[in-house]
Structure 1
Amino acid sequence: MLKLLGDRPLGARDAPVVERVLTSDPVAMCMVAARFESHGINPRLLGGELWTTDDPTSSLCFSGANLIPLLGSPGDMEGFADRASSAPRVCSSIVGRAEMVLPFWERIAPCWGPAREIRDSQPLMALTDAPAVAPDPLVRLVTLEDLDAYLPAAIDMFIGEVGVDPCAGDGGRSYRRRLASLITAQRVFARFDRGEVVFKAEIGSLSRKVGQIQGVWVAPDRRGEGFGARGTAAVAAAIIAHGRIPSLYVNSFNHTARAVYRQVGFSEVGTFATVLVD
């Protein structure tokens, strides 16, 4: 019987258990841990529900704009899929450790499929020491005054990575607000050259233990000049300076990016998978 964490008032007995689970695998669970640490377990504030098939110490799943299986056996993934299929879909992607995402998708595909894209092998990487590459001293925090100059690079990266235009639908107002929020939180970095972005990256999720880097991009006409490695090293160094582990995940077919991250000193600590659904 599937029990829903969030369909009843959650007190002190629930939150510490969930917190222990989220800290047991801090790199892989960073996206949910960051939300939980900021907003607690209330679904409205958390931005989604936490599910378990029995006990959160053995099975846990986050269901929001992203559906993120966090812990459990293939049988638990089937249970989560059955729960997800019982209501209208709210997520646009399923992401997490491949050994959980893929069984979940196999179960729910007849209901939610076909997928727009399945990325079944995404190395999950972490940096446990200082960057092996000297950080670019010209990479800096982006300010709100930079937003107009930053936006074209962010849109180009998003289309290339996700395959959809973030400006579709509302002319980019929602995407602009999201970037402005990240900038205000001091989680957006870039190197500018004559007012244009040469390198960019963001800290997409920031928990107490981990900073997850996303949106790494180098201007097409400046690739091959080392901006990716030195820029990523600068962002990683900023995360380390705040006492956290830099992490990221990358598509297995992106050999150039994987080589850059290895050059910086990142090593593989697992494999993610992402299923993009329409």
Structure 2
Amino acid sequence: MPLWSPSASPDGKVTRATGGRVRVLTGEDTCALHKLLEADPVGNTSVAAALQQRGTAGLSKGRQSALLLGIDAAEPGDGPAPELVSACWLGSNIIPVGANATTAQHFGRAARALRRRVSSIYGRSEAVLSLFEATGWSNHREVRAEQPLMVMYQEPEMRPLPGVRRSRPEEFDAVEQACAAMFTEELGFSPYDHGASQYRERIRGLIQAGHSLIAVDPETRQITFKAEFGSVTDQAVQVQGVWVNPKWRGRGLAAPGMAAVVNYGLSLAPRVSLYVNAYNIPAIRAYERVGFQHAGTYATVLF
């Protein structure tokens, strides 16, 4: 996958690559995009959170800032504006929204034409795999085609792990080490490969927002359990980075730790979701014991 080329308008590139089927969204599309995201609050949490922070579906400043692409209904609706039927976030990650296999192919062609360097493609499985195939990109690290998406709407019945709390700014170094250990173990490469400063700022932001949760051993002061809310909206929060310190594994911390995370998450939104690799059977069983229910399948392509 080549580096992004800024030499031409993204609108022209997208139009030519997709025969006019895909367009770059503008600020006037913001309300329509919100409506599309609300149709699947669990599946679209990350894009909804990004849009909430960004404030508009239109282009933001910066040569490599994220674009939002859209596809309108083939037949015009009754209103003055076209009906947005699917969309795609295209930044350091690519995330299809409301896309099926066919519309995702159009987004893949647009992404190929825009020549963006991305770290992943993720979202609902059918759309992600179809989009990735259409890009023709072959430099990916791994395709994780089956990742159960799970959700909870109510507090767990099991007793939460005592001591789970928001991490503090002065604990940044310890939290960073735990996050990096989890990332490397989970993905097989260092998070710093995609930019150390950006990764550290991301962790600082989670801590400052109160979205980094940890449990600390009172004797050693080491983090024994951690998780983050990677995306937070009024409709849902998405948990990421669930990790039990290897020294404390096998002591039954995962499920009660997640029970504590869910309790806190439900104070922020009516739904708490996560996705997990299908081969990670122990994690899936732990989430099911907490009370998570299956809500579809995600896929992730890693670069």
- TM-score normalised to structure 1 length: 0.92
Q: Deviations over 1:78-109 (max 9, x none)?
A: 2111111112223211100001111111222x
Matched, 1:220 2:246: yes
SS in 1 for 2:50: helix
The residue type paired with residue 23 of structure 2 is L
Matched, 1:44 2:60: yes
SS in 2 for 1:167: helix
Q: Which runs of 4+ in 1 moved over 6 A?
A: none
Q: Find 1:86's aligned residue among 108, 113, 116.
A: 113
Q: CA separation in 2, counterparts of 1:257 and 1:43?
A: 39
Q: Find 2:27's aligned residue among 5, 10, 13.
A: 10
Q: Find 1:162's aligned residue among 173, 180, 187.
A: 187
Q: Report what 2:8 is aligned to.
A: none
- Superposition RMSD in Å: 1.8
Q: Which runs of 5+ in 2 are unaligned?
A: 1-19, 74-82
In our comparison, the structure showing a higher alpha carbon Rg is: 2
Q: Is the 8 A contact 1:2 1:83 kept in 2?
A: no
Q: Please show how residues 70-219 of structure 1 align to structure 2 within 5 Å.
A: 70-108=97-135, 110=136, 112-168=137-193, 172-193=196-217, 194-219=220-245
Q: CA separation in 1, counterparts of 2:201 and 2:297?
A: 31
Q: Is the 8 A contact 1:98 1:273 kept in 2?
A: yes
Once the two structures are TM-superposed, the CA of residue 242 in structure 1 deviates from its matched residue by 2.5
Q: Is the 8 A contact 2:106 2:134 kept in 1?
A: no
Once the two structures are TM-superposed, the CA of residue 231 in structure 1 deviates from its matched residue by 1.1
Q: CA separation in 2, counterparts of 1:102 and 1:129?
A: 32
Q: CA separation in 1, counterparts of 2:42 and 2:85?
A: 18
Q: Which runs of 5+ in 1 are unaligned?
A: none
- TM-score normalised to structure 2 length: 0.84
The residue type paired with residue 153 of structure 2 is T
**CA shift in 2, pair 1:65/1:168, >3 Å:** closer
Q: CA separation in 1, counterparts of 2:221 and 2:210?
A: 20
Q: Find 1:68's aligned residue among 92, 95, 109.
A: 95
Q: Is the 8 A contact 1:26 1:209 kept in 2?
A: yes
The residue type paired with residue 255 of structure 1 is I
The residue type paired with residue 104 of structure 1 is L
SS in 1 for 2:84: coil
Once the two structures are TM-superposed, the CA of residue 73 in structure 1 deviates from its matched residue by 3.0
Q: CA separation in 2, counterparts of 1:181 and 1:158?
A: 17
Q: Is the 8 A contact 1:149 1:195 kept in 2?
A: no
**CA shift in 2, pair 1:115/1:10, >3 Å:** same
